[in-house]
Amino acid sequence: MNKSSLKIGVVQQAVASNDKDVNWVRSAEQVSALAEQGCELVMLQELHSTLYFCQQENTGFFDLAEPIPGAATAYFAALAAKLNIVLITSLFEKRASGLYHNTAVVFDRQQGLVGKYRKMHIPDDPGFYEKFYFTPGDLGFNPIQTSVGKLGVLVCWDQWYPEAARLMAMAGADMLFYPTAIGWDKNDTTAEQSRQHDAWKTIQRSHAVANSLPVVVANRTGFEASPVEGDPGIQFWGQSFVAGPQGEMLAQASSDKEENLIVDIDLHRTEQIKRIWPYFRDRRIDAYGELTKRWRDE
């Protein structure tokens, strides 16, 4: 990148219904506010068009999916063009009948849609039944070239895997981005909730450290009731954040409020950090072959 700094914005929102038109307008208002404050790149959270429907396995929710291109991509492409920004969005992609993905889509100013990333790691836990809805991605770990640099866009559960961050960095990503929807089971103890949140923040900061790259995370906030009787629902923990290339916290949102983050990223600093801490120089690639195995059996 030729620029010395880049002002980025992160939108943290709660979602109250599956009315996409309402949710798109609400998101667009915050994206516009960030653009007015000089942000050239803005990111929305995972599956921001609807409630987090994966709390239940319900075939009716496949009706929420969108084709690419489709109404969602047309709406956000127009928004990015109007505001002259790079915009990272997230949607439930209908690729074909019976074939769906959790997909991040990137728009670049007047260029429109310039790239997409299909979530590679798909969770399947109580309240997060994503394997029922999403086919694992097949586009690999490839940064998306934009007017503000090469963006290593990943999605939520991908954030727990150092391999994903490393492969994006090895392909030349200038920054890593994680649109996210993660929260607490209300049955968990306060101590367990604290451990989960600390692990979530630590693993992503570690990706920044290990790859000498800024990491940008947008998580949703608010409580979303489960459609399953007796299920406690999910309290999304918010706390969207931006970390610098040594894992330092540059900004962090609250746990329970809708809010935006604005951060000036020092683009030259990433280069300096890589010179001081040359992890890529010292990697023993001759000894890592077994990383492609599921497990190392004796």
Q: Which two tokens stand for residue 114?
A: 């310039």
Calculate mean pLDDT across residues 97-125.
97
Which pLDDT score, from 0 to 100, does residue 178 have? 98
Chain segment 14-57, per-residue pLDDT in tens:
999 999 999 999 999 999 999 999 999 999 999 999 999 999 99
Which pLDDT score, from 0 to 100, does residue 186 have? 83
Q: What is the CATH number of domain 5-292?
A: 3.60.110.10
Calculate mean pLDDT across residues 145-150.
97
Cα 42 from Cα 9, distance rounded (Å): 5
The answer to whether the predicted template modeling score (pTM) of the entire model surpasses 0.95 is yes
- Mean of all residue pLDDT scores within the chain: 96
Q: Which two tokens stand for residue 198?
A: 């600390």
Which pLDDT score, from 0 to 100, does residue 55 have? 95
Calculate mean pLDDT across residues 128-147.
98
Which pLDDT score, from 0 to 100, does residue 2 have? 62
Chain segment 89-99, per-residue pLDDT in tens:
999 999 999 99
Q: Where are the domains of the chain?
A: 5-292
Per-residue pLDDT at 1 exceeds 80: no
219 forms beta bridges with 180
Per-residue pLDDT at 147 exceeds 70: yes
Which pLDDT score, from 0 to 100, does residue 4 have? 87
Indicate which residues carry an active-site annotation: 46, 119, 156
Q: Which two tokens stand for residue 298?
A: 């004796």
Chain segment 234-291, per-residue pLDDT in tens:
999 999 999 999 999 999 999 999 999 999 999 999 999 999 999 999 999 999 999 9
Assess contact for 141 and 167: CB atoms under 8 A.
yes
Residue type for 10, please?
A: V
Which pLDDT score, from 0 to 100, does residue 185 have? 85
List, in order, residues 6 or more apart from 173 with CB less than 8 Å away. 143, 150, 151, 152, 211, 213
Cα 102 from Cα 112, distance rounded (Å): 20
Per-residue pLDDT at 3 exceeds 80: no
Calculate mean pLDDT across residues 166-182.
98
